Structure 1
């Protein structure tokens, strides 16, 4: 049985509908910004702190997209369990802290980037599936 990393992540989109992905220093995999909770933090506190630390932007609002799990991209033997939010941010976005690179991708056609399993198996399908009426 794998160990679980409990994380909070953000889907941040620009005016063209592209989605922001980050790559941490020393890794090859792109993923959504976010990270692990500090003791006592709720989802939105964690998300606001992580976005400020990683990207230098401020969380304005966040709506829960869903709770998802998949094998961790960078930690062998771990599963990530993510509360993923559709987030609106303000301020200039730039790589900070452990973030090496940021890219904006079309969720329907992310290209040939190496993407985290959580993103490819869970989040992109959730984003791209129209809600049933």
Structure 2
């Protein structure tokens, strides 16, 4: 059985509909901001904590909406899978890479740039975001 890491992840958009991706220090792949739940945390609490730690922003109250749970090969843990509960969220506060985040980029989900993108983001989150932009979701 393949080991699986469980995380929460945020789909954050700017006014132009682009999606925020981050890259952790010492890694190559861009992905959704988020991370592992601490003991006793529900998804929304974990997501708010991770966004504050990683980017210095917090979800706007009432804006967090479940998009589904998706699974893919883990980008940074060879031989592992990642299972992410993905949530759309509007955020407040300046978005600035902090903690383990080395870089961030806003991408058009229908036409992402030629960069290394985590399998979960590439195969599930960006296609979902592209469909929503096109008015299908």
Shift of 1:127: 2.2
Which consecutive segments of 4 or more residues in structure 1 shift more than 6 A? none
Structure 1 unmatched runs, 5+ = none
Name the structure with the higher strand share. 1
CA distance in 1, matches of 2:59, 2:50: 10
Task: Give 1:104-115 correspondences, 5 Å limit.
Answer: 104-115=106-117
SS in structure 2 of the partner of residue 49 of structure 1? helix
Return 5+ residue gaps in structure 2 as ranges.
none
Number of aligned residues = 131
TM-score (normalizing by structure 2)? 0.93
- Aligned residue number for residue 11 of structure 1: 11
Q: Is structure 2 residue 56 aligned with structure 1 residue 56?
A: yes
- Corresponding position of 1:47: 47
Aligned-pair CA distance for 1:125:
2.0
Secondary structure of the corresponding residue to residue 46 of structure 2: helix
Shift of 1:128: 2.5
Cα distance, 1:35 vs. partner?
0.2
Equivalence for 1:100: 102
1:28 aligns with 28
What do residues 7-26 of structure 1 show as CA deviations (whole Å, max 9, x unaligned)?
00000000011110000000
Residue 126 of structure 1 and its aligned partner are, at CA, apart by 2.0
Residues 48 and 58, structure 2, Cα contact 8 Å, conserved in 1? yes
Root-mean-square deviation over aligned CA pairs: 0.8
